[in-house]
Structure formats: C-alpha cells, structure tokens
Amino acid sequence: MKQLNNITVYCGSNLGNIADYYHAAQNMAKTLARRGHRIVYGGGSVGLMGTLADTALAHGAEVIGVVPHFLAEKEIVHDNLTTLIKTNTMSERKLKMIELANGYIAMAGGLGTYEELFEVLSNAQLELDQSPIGLLNTNGFYDPVMALLAHTAEQGFMPKDNLKLVCVSDDPDDLLDQMYAYTPTKAIKWSMPTWYQQILNAQSS
C-alpha cells in the first residue's frame, strides 16, 4: 500500500447546478478523514472547496490551504484551516500544492481544476511525478475528459498506455483503493507513425 499521507484535492469554487457535487465533496472529505489523510487544497471557503474543507475539519482531518495573496485579499480564503500557506502567484500556488502531495484527486470543478489536473497528468507522463492521480467521477462529470484522453491516444498524440495514468471512480473508497494499488505506467512518449516513415523511405529512395 502506498503511503499517501497528503492528498492534494482539486475542485471548484462553485457548487454546481445539482446537489450531487456538494454531497460528493462531503463524502470525499469524510472518507479522507476516516482513512487518516491530510488534505491539501486551494484554501477557499466557498463552493466545493469550502465544503471539502469544512467537512474534513469537522471529522478531524488536517487541512492545508494554499492560496495566492490576491485571492486572500478578496476575503474568500478559509480562516479556520490547520495551516494556511500564502503565495505570490497562481503558479507558485500550483507548485506548492504539487510539492506537498503524495497523491492527487480531482473532483468536479472549472477551468482552474482542469488546469491543475492536466499539469499533474503531464508531469506523470514525463515521469516527473509518479504519485497516483484520481478522478472522483460524480454524475459522470469526468466522462468527457476520459473520452478526450482516449481520442488523443487514438489520434496518435499520446501513448494509449497513458490512459492508465489516472484512476477513476464515483466512490471515494474505491477511488482511494485504486490509488493505493497504482503502479506508474511506463510508455514511449515519442513514436513515429507509419505514414511518416513511408514518406522518409520515399525521400531516401
């Protein structure tokens, strides 16, 4: 079993249009707390971020928030966290959340969540970070993302084996079990398509 002491969680600063995402954030937080994980997240007090933090704290988990100064000044930062780390920029925030993580979970969210998710996926592909990455697929939220990744592989822009870089489940316990059992994928990043080899062969003949 992997030692996933710190789980960095990416999620929305909005609640979404249906209650499923709110309840899923609560369940994820309760499960992480019950299993003894420390949560690292974006430091917000609103949306799914606030729901995650409030629930985790209420169930005895340590919660570390990482927030840039300009967001803290907008007064949406959570003021009751175990630890609050302030950064100068959004880029520094993302790096600090990665630095603290032994694993990652993306819940439903917006552009910021997608950006954070794809950064850690890219790091995994380049073998810069071999920590497990999980998607809490509430209400099929991440089905389009998984379809996009499959399409990317089918079109030859990433190895098909890299679809294994991410664990997916709508159940928090199952997702964490997958992450504990995760084995980093080794795949050839760069490959030459047959059609291009044929062009090279024709040019050399």
Average pLDDT, the chain: 93
- The residue type at 47: G
Taking a C-beta distance cutoff of 8 angstroms, is the pair 163, 153 a contact? yes
- The predicted-structure confidence for 24-69, as pLDDT tens digits, reads as follows 999 999 999 999 999 999 999 999 999 999 999 999 999 999 999 9
pLDDT exceeds 60 at position 1:
no
Tokens standing for residue 43: 């430091």
Question: pLDDT for 126-146, tens place per residue?
Answer: 999 999 999 999 999 999 999
Q: What is the mean pLDDT of residues 88-94?
A: 95
Q: What predicted TM-score, i.e. pTM, was given to this entire model?
A: 0.93
How far apart, in whole angstroms, are the C-alpha atoms of residue 171 and residue 45?
A: 24
- pLDDT score of 2: 59
Topology (CATH level 3) of domain 6-204: Rossmann fold (3.40.50)
CA count, 13 A, side-chain hemisphere, 163: 15
| Exposure letters 120-157 (e unless 16+ CB within 10 A, then b) | bbebbbeeebebbbbbbbbeebbeebeeebeeebeeee
Task: Give how far the C-alpha of residue 176 lies from the chain's centroid of Cα atoms, to the nearest Å.
Answer: 13
C-alpha distances out from residue 140 to 50, 122, 136, Å: 22, 23, 9
